[in-house]
Amino acid sequence: MAEEGKMDCNPNLYLVILFVVVVLVYQLTEIHYFVRIFVCFVRARYLKSKLHILGTAEYDSRCTTTDVDYLLFHMNNGRYLRELDFARTDFFQRTGLWSEIRGRGGQVYMSASSARYRRFIRLFAAFRVQTRIVYWDEETLYTEHRFVTPDDGFVRAIIYGQQKVVQCDLQKVMDELLSRWADKVEVPPKPKCPEEIRLWIESSRVSSLKLRTKS
């Protein structure tokens, strides 16, 4: 009888251990972040329509309790950059940009960003991230990300990103992606560098030069 009672306690012990493990995993890793990335990847890869490389991808999201700052009523500034992980995943998958770069043995990583916040995104408010490529040079993609609230169409924030592409020829990547739509739309010319991007590139160059001089 004693042995049977001991065995009866085991299921409860296992549940406690499982609960502790789940809590530790959640504390040590942002499970919801990886779940969202996975869902975003699946939706963009298999459920959403393909997108022209110079088109605009729209990613819908909402400000939740995990996104607010210490004032508890609007989205934390750092969360805007986190949302770009999901918006870029959507854009890279739907345009085929990620597959093309990886297929050529290349890598892409964020090297810089510039954010301008115009108006708060309130707690529980829906917003849409509009992502597009505005320019590229020999090894860098320049992307624009607009945070827009659908109910009023107001641009709450705008973030520019520099994506460095290494170990492959970026121009060949873009030429290939542009050619895929040649039978549907006229191949557009390469966009001219916007003034704000030109000034940002120059600012980055000056900053980099200063850091090299100090080191």
pTM of the full structure? 0.86
Q: Examine residue 74 and state whether it is found in any structural domain, yes or no.
A: yes
Instruction: Report yes or no: 109 and 153 within 8 Å, Cβ to Cβ.
Output: no
For residue 43, give the DSSP letter: I
Supply the CATH number for residue 165's domain: 3.10.129.10
The tokens of 85 are what?
Answer: 């992980």
User: Which residue has tokens 């770069």?
Assistant: 101
To 10 degrees, what angle do helices 77-95 and 31-42 make? 30
- pLDDT reported for residue 9: 58
Q: Is residue 27 part of a domain?
A: no
The pair phi, psi for residue 83, each rounded to 5°, is -65, -25
**Residue numbers of the domain that contains 161:** 48-204
Half-sphere exposure of 103 (CA within 13 A, CB side): 9
Q: Is 149 exposed, middle or buried (0-12, 13-18, 19+ CB in 10 A)?
A: middle
Q: Tokens for 171?
A: 């121009």
- Pick from 136, 130, 129: nearest CA to 177: 136
Give domain status of residue 37, yes or no: no
Asked whether residue 177 is domain-assigned, the answer is yes
Q: Tell me the per-residue pLDDT of 148-202, one tens digit each, with 9 for 90 and over.
A: 999 999 999 999 999 999 999 999 999 999 999 988 888 788 999 999 999 999 9
Q: How many domains in the chain?
A: 1
How far apart are alpha carbons 168 and 157 in whole angstroms?
32
Residue 156, in any domain of the structure: yes
Residue 59 amino acid letter: Y
33 found inside a domain: no
Q: Would 171 be classed as within a structural domain?
A: yes
Using an 8 Å Cβ cutoff, are 132 and 184 in contact?
no
In a domain? residue 86? yes
- Six token digits for residue 38: 């996975």
What would the pLDDT profile of 113-145 be if each residue is shown by its tens digit?
999 999 999 999 999 999 999 999 999 999 999
pLDDT at 187: 79
Per residue in 26-83, pLDDT tens? 778 888 899 999 999 999 999 999 999 999 999 999 999 989 988 889 999 999 999 9
Q: What are phi and psi of 155, to 5 degrees?
A: -80, 105
